[in-house]
Chain A
Amino acid sequence: MSDSIPMPRVRVATTSLAGCFGCHMSFLDMDERLLDLAKVVEFDRSPLTDIKHCGPCDIGLIEGGVCNAENVHVLREFRRNCKTLVAVGACAINGGLPAQRNHLDLGDCLQQVYVKRDGVEDGGVPDDPELPLLLDRVHPIHEVVRVDYFIPGCPPSGDAIWTFLTDLIGGRTPRLPHPLLHFD
């Protein structure tokens, strides 16, 4: 029997903003190591738990960039609650694929999709207050809140996420070895 105080489990929250869920799929790609992870981690708000709002956490993992007002609210909630916030994947770090619209005018985009598109009659830009408004440009998350770490890749591999998290939880400054560090 050990008389040392058991370390409390690390609380982790995850979310997908303007991303494709590819990074979350990569997270699941850790396969059976998820079971090891589950021994030291408990999940707060995350698509894995379906908890709707984030409470105080140790680590927040963010997939995807910031494309609308709701993304801003979610991101701020994570920043307020997570001691360490991590940008996971190309979209969170650079805006990624969604940011391809940045060289187009948002007004033209909405017109084209909801009003002028072939086959659309009586179209109109949806104005339901339930829907979050789009920002004029898609931003990487570090342009909206302070971010502590970045895991590059589109998506980063399950190995990369595993290595990063075990470093972070183990108290080592995360450092991805060369084969795991890639930007595509």
Chain B
Amino acid sequence: MHDAERVAAQAVERHRREPSQLLQVLVETQDAIGYLPAAALTRIAGLLELPRSRVEGVAGFYSFLHTEPVGRFRILFSDNIIDRMLGSRALMERLCRRLGVSPGQVSPGGEASVDITSCTGMGDQGPAILVNGVAVTRLDEARVERIAALVHAGTPLAAWPAEFFRVDDNIRRRGALLGADFVPGSALQAAMKRGRNGWLEEMRVSGLRGRGGAGFTTAVKWGACRDAPGADKVVVCNADEGEPGTFKDRVLLASQADRVIEGMTLAAWATGARQGLLYLRGEYRYLLKHLRAVLAVRRAAGLLGARILGESGFDFDIDIHLGAGAYVCGEETALLESLEGKRGTPRIRPPFPVTHGYLGRPTVVNNVETLAKTTLIALQGGAAFAATGTPQSTGTKLLSISGDCAYSGVYEYPFGVTIEHVLEDCGAHDPQVVQVGGASGVTIASHEFHRRIAFEDVPTAGAFMVFDGRRDPFEMARNFVHFFAHESCGFCTPCRVGTALLKGYMDKLASGKGAKMDLADIEWLDRLLKNASHCGLGSSAPNPVIDTLLKFRPAYERRLVSLDFKPAFDLDAALETARRMTGRDDPAAHLDRREEV
């Protein structure tokens, strides 16, 4: 048997030949071999009794899985607009020069490859890269030079300076959640004292709404799952945090893991679930060891496992699943598909996960921050929780602040805080644009800085990117459009084709070949994406374009060269090959560039 096949077989056995573990098997096989050779895929398919095409389909779906050899050092530059503003593109060019490789290629000796990847969630300490899947922060020229030397020397990652991998929490403002000490188990004890129903009632009183984006009332979700037929309920923690510019879940997982996991256990207490799954984005795999350690300590303390805190009938434990570079897997039904070892294609809803979720079982999916917040409700009661924030948006919100400000990092505010207040706190000197809620969020112009962070005004999953007068809102929108075109899962045509077309138009404008006609087409595409997409990715993909076209239209108009139409390519240059082949240079061998209609 080949080495690759043996490694693959071992991974399958570690996961007890469970087809639902396919993604984890592929991740582990690749970890050992560097990529996924065809023989390994065939072996995995055979052992899991899955069609070969299904295994290949999954391997082909995730950006971090490779079916072709990649460099021994695979270096990916986070390509969010914030990393770019910090100079990531110039650093990438420098590294490519040093390694003798062009972006997207493997160096001739197979030693390294360099490419870009979607936001890695390090906006407060970028520019950031991933080296063989592990985050490296605060890149500068000196660090690039040292990395090039380490790669040339073939130094294994484990021997690289630890400083490279340092990820800071950068907590800048503490509120109810980040400001209080937490004794593991204390929230659980308080909730168990209230009984399962009493606990859910407390959740209802709190008015807690989901922090992952959609803002659904958590108690309603939990109640629906509890009441759904089926005894084998599941609690899922959504730690995919793929929205560009968001990194507050990373900080919670790093510094408040006990609260997050206790929150999952509290959800199990309310719903009767016995199984928990934490879906960790591949970019945060460096947190895996820490999270596993926290789980182990909690098991030893009787806070996980059978008969939690001695309560008979309260059994609950948690597994961690790794994602592999797919933003769409943050969408809860795509996430469930991914947990089941499939491509991350969003499901048709209804049925909703609360009745038909993981493997068809009733499932609660909650964001990391939502779950952490439930520990506050257990400890202080729902009414105390609801006393902060606004009536429709109770409690506090964590913001991930990055961009043109003096103090990037995580800030905790009561809901209802104004954008100008936040800007002042983070030391933004000349803010012109704030992108709230990430690429799919809302673009806020300076005349709107009085608006408030709240579900009823400016909702957000947590990103807060600041742009000053040097920045170009068009380039921000173009960066986000590239992100969506890259991350579209390809399942539905409006999004697959629409995001690609939108990207084409934005690039055409950027290259100085835009015409008024293109703006009309862009607006038409925006409507198409919004109305015809299958999931939230496609329907929010045009948001940055819609907002910037409305609020920063001159940033588009000044790129236009014609009031009517202009081809995206140079017609006369397109005749060059034929001119050369025929040796002609007569007037008919040219096309007048000015005579465009």
Q: Enumerate chain A interface residues (CB-CB to B < 8 A).
A: 69, 72, 76, 79-80, 105-107, 110-111, 125-127, 129, 132-137, 139, 143-146
In the assembled complex, the Cα of A134 lies from the Cα of B580 at a distance in Å of: 11
Question: Once the chains bind, are B595 and A129 in contact (CB under 8 Å)?
Answer: no
Q: Is the CB of B578 within 8 A of A136?
A: yes
Partner pick for A137 among B574, B596, B597, CB 8 A cutoff: B574
CA distance A69 to B575 in the complex (A): 8
A26 and B515 CA atoms in complex are apart in Å by 34
Nearest 7 CB-CB pairs, A to B? Answer: A146-B565, A127-B582, A133-B578, A135-B574, A79-B597, A106-B577, A125-B581
Interfacial chain A residues near B584, Cβ < 8 Å: 127, 129, 133
**Once bound together, how far apart are the Cα atoms of A133 and B575, in whole Å?**
7
List chain B residues, Cβ under 8 A from A136. Answer: 574-578
**How far, in whole Å, are A135 and B589 apart by their CA atoms in the complex?**
10
Which A residues lie within 8 Å of B193 (CB)? none
Write the B550-580 contact mask toward A (1 if CB under 8 angstroms, else 0): 0000000000000011011101001111111
Residues of B within 8 A of A80 (CB): 597
The residues of B that contact A137 with a CB separation of less than 8 Å are 574
**Cβ of B574 to closest chain A Cβ, rounded Å:** 4
In the assembled complex, the Cα of A105 lies from the Cα of B568 at a distance in Å of 20
Given contacts A76-B595, A133-B584, 6 further A-B contacts (CB under 8 A): A72-B571, A79-B597, A107-B581, A136-B577, A145-B597, A146-B597
The residues of B that contact A125 with a CB separation of less than 8 Å are 581-582
Partner of A133, one of B515, B517, B582: B582
Q: Which residues of B contact A72 (CB under 8 A)?
A: 571, 591
A144/B571 contact (C-beta < 8 A), A69-B591, A79-B597 known: yes
**CB–CB B588/A69 < 8 A:** yes
The closest CB in chain B to the CB of A146 belongs to: B565
CB-defined contacts of B569 to chain A, threshold 8 Å: 139, 143
Min CB distance B228 to A, Å, is 39
Question: Contact between A143 and B574 (Cβ–Cβ < 8 Å)?
Answer: no
In the complex, what distance in Å separates the CA atom of A99 from the CA atom of B269?
A: 62
State the Cβ distance, B564 to closest chain A Cβ, in Å: 6
Interface: B586 (CB within 8 A): yes
B residues 375-409 in Cβ contact with A at 8 Å: none
B583 touches A (CB below 8 Å): yes
Cα–Cα, bound, A80→B588 (Å): 20
Contact with B564, one of A111, A126, A143, A146 (Cβ below 8 angstroms):
A146
Query: Can you identify 22 A-B contacts, CB atoms within 8 angstroms?
Result: A72-B571, A72-B591, A107-B580, A107-B581, A110-B581, A127-B582, A129-B586, A129-B588, A129-B589, A132-B588, A133-B575, A133-B582, A133-B589, A135-B575, A136-B574, A137-B574, A144-B571, A145-B565, A145-B596, A146-B517, A146-B565, A146-B597
A127 to B517, CA, bound (A): 37
CB distance from B242 to the nearest CB of A (A): 33
Taking the closest CB of chain B, its distance from the CB of A82, in whole angstroms, is 11
- The answer to whether A126 and B582 touch across the interface, beta carbons within 8 angstroms, is yes
CA distance A133 to B597 in the complex (A): 21
Residues of B within 8 A of A146 (CB): 515, 517, 564-565, 597
Q: Which residues of A contact B578 (CB under 8 A)?
A: 106, 110, 133-136
Residues of chain B contacted by A106 (CB below 8 angstroms): 577-578, 581
> Do the beta carbons of B597 and A135 come within 8 Å of each other?
no
Chain A residue numbers with a CB within 8 Å of B575 are: 69, 133-136
Select the residue from A79, A145, A146 with max chain B CB neighbours within 10 A: A146
- Assembly CA distance A125 to B517 (angstroms): 38
Residue of A nearest to B580 (CB): A107
Cα-based distance from A69 to B576 in the complex (angstroms): 11
User: How distant is A103 from chain B, measured CB to nearest CB, in Å?
Assistant: 15
Nearest-neighbor residue (CB-CB) of B582 within chain A: A127
Q: With the chains together, A106 CA to B577 CA distance in Å? A: 7
Decide if B579 touches A133 in the complex (CB within 8 Å): yes
Q: Which B residues are CB-close (under 8 A) to A134?
A: 575, 577-578
Chain A CB count within 10 A is highest, among B568, B582, B586, for B582
B586 cross-chain contacts in A, Cβ below 8 A: 129
Q: How far is the CB of A54 from chain B (nearest CB, A)?
A: 13
How long is the Cα–Cα vector from A100 to B564 in the complex, in angstroms? 30
Could you tell me the distance between the alpha carbons of A80 and B595 in the complex, rounded to whole angstroms?
Answer: 10
Contact in complex: B571, A135 (CB < 8 Å): yes
Residues of B near A76 (CB, < 8 A) are 595-597
- State the CA gap A48–B334 with chains docked (Å): 55
**B32 CB to nearest chain A CB (Å):** 37
Cβ contacts under 8 Å, A132 to chain B: 588
Complex CA gap A134/B574 in Å reads 8
Q: Report the separation of the CA atoms of residues A12 and B567 in the bound assembly, to the nearest whole angstrom.
A: 25
Complex Cα–Cα for A80 and B596 (A): 10
Closest to A85 in B: B597
Instruction: Identify which of residues 512-544 in chain B touch chain A, using a CB-to-CB cut-off of 8 Å.
Output: 515, 517
CB distance from A140 to the nearest CB of B (A): 11
- Nearest-neighbour CB distance to chain A for B554, whole angstroms, equals 23
> Closest CB of chain B to A74's CB: distance in Å?
12
Q: Which residue of B lies closest to A78 (CB)?
A: B597
Residue of A nearest to B571 (CB): A72
CA–CA, A146 and B562, complex, Å: 12
Residue of B nearest to A143 (CB): B567
CA distance A129 to B580 in the complex (A): 14
The complex places the Cα of A146 from the Cα of B515 at a distance, in Å, of 10
**What's the Cα separation between A125 and B580 when bound, in Å?**
10
**B561: shortest Cβ distance to chain A, in Å?**
14
Measured CA separation A132–B567 after assembly (Å): 20
A79 to B596 alpha-carbon distance, docked (Å)? 10
The complex places the Cα of A129 from the Cα of B578 at a distance, in Å, of 12
Chain A contacts of B565 at CB under 8 A?
Answer: 145-146
Contact of B577 with A144 in the complex, beta carbons under 8 Å: no
Q: Within 8 Å CB of A111, what residues of B?
A: 581
> In the complex, what's the smallest C-beta–C-beta distance from A184 to chain B, in angstroms?
16
The answer for the CA separation of A179 and B12 in the assembled complex, in Å, is 49
Closest A residue to B589 by CB, please name it.
A133
Residues of A within 8 A of B576 (CB): 136
Most B CB contacts (10 A, CB to CB) among A133, A137, A143 go to: A133
Assess whether B582 is in contact with A144, with CB atoms less than 8 Å apart. no
In angstroms, Cα B584 to Cα A132, docked, is 11
A60 nearest CB across to chain B (Å)? 12
Contacts of B571 in A (CB 8 A): 72, 135, 144
Residue among A72, A132, A137 with the highest chain B CB neighbour number at 10 A = A72
Partner of B567, one of A69, A105, A129, A144: A144
